[in-house]
Amino acid sequence: MKVLQWLTICVLLVPLSLRAAGPSLPLESANNDLQDLDSLKRGAELFADKCLACHSIKYMRYNRIAADLGWSNEEVVEVMSYGQDRAVDDVMTRMPEGVAMNVFGTKMPDLSLMARLKGTDYIYSFLRGYEYDPETESWDNRLLKGTVMPHVLESMERHSTEESYAQAARDISNFLEYAGEPAKLQRWDLGWKVMLFLLLLIIVTYLLKKEYWRDIKH
């Protein structure tokens, strides 16, 4: 009976694990590094420049970004909102919802949790997934066929080297991964401290053991 129950559970879990495997379209690896603050800063700047016109990251505030990335409150507001917001404000697009609906026929997805929802590699590949179709004379995206999002990095792609274009997409993806889970930065920090503490503890314990056993003949 037990075996049968286990078998049933396994069979029921198979479709779940298949679904977890996600879309079958091949994704490029973003190879981003959350510890690279320069990359995160460049990503924040590019996000503000190229994405914020349409997308919010409503769960982030400017002053949180400043504290995490090493900017002052004045700097973050200057760099990201061109001095139009306050540091305590959420990072909101200025595009009214009605306009998005009229122009694009859809609500603008908020990008706060996009990296968690679809993965950092997905964002990287999506940004790099635009292909020009000479027949329709328009851009389409291999990961989201028929998407209404324009190829916003088109001129950047045209005017920069393959390497620097890939780096820009990587920086933006890196920033959006950070935005999806800002605590990840601190967790890393804490991780190192815990490891160091454990190492010191092992050394101290070892020395103590030596000290205790020194006079005991064994």
Contact positions vs ligand HEC (CB under 6 A): 50-51, 53-55, 104, 106, 108-109, 111, 114, 123, 126-127, 144, 147-150, 152-153, 172
Please say which residue, 83 or 150, places its beta carbon nearer to ligand HEC.
Answer: 150
- The least distance separating ligand HEC from the CB of residue 80, rounded to whole angstroms, comes to 13
Please say which residue, 73 or 167, places its beta carbon nearer to ligand HEC.
Answer: 167
Residues in the chain: 218
Whole-number Å distance between alpha carbons of 72 and 64: 10
Please say which residue, 76 or 123, places its beta carbon nearer to ligand HEC.
Answer: 123
Please say which residue, 148 or 199, places its beta carbon nearer to ligand HEC.
Answer: 148
- The least distance separating ligand HEC from the CB of residue 140, rounded to whole angstroms, comes to 10
**Contact (Cβ atoms closer than 8 angstroms) between residue 177 and residue 185:** no
Spatial CA neighbour of 46 closest among 79, 7, 77, 73: 79
Please say which residue, 68 or 121, places its beta carbon nearer to ligand HEC.
Answer: 121
Please say which residue, 76 or 127, places its beta carbon nearer to ligand HEC.
Answer: 127
Whole-number Å distance between alpha carbons of 159 and 58: 31
Contacts 24+ apart (CB under 8 A), 81-88: 81/48, 81/52, 82/48, 86/62, 87/61, 87/62, 87/63, 88/61, 88/62, 88/63
**Contact (Cβ atoms closer than 8 angstroms) between residue 64 and residue 89:** no
- The least distance separating ligand HEC from the CB of residue 116, rounded to whole angstroms, comes to 12
Whole-number Å distance between alpha carbons of 46 and 160: 14
Position with the least CB separation from ligand HEC = 51
- The least distance separating ligand HEC from the CB of residue 199, rounded to whole angstroms, comes to 40
- The least distance separating ligand HEC from the CB of residue 153, rounded to whole angstroms, comes to 6
- The least distance separating ligand HEC from the CB of residue 47, rounded to whole angstroms, comes to 6
Q: What element of type H or E holds 90?
A: strand 90-91
Whole-number Å distance between alpha carbons of 214 and 191: 35
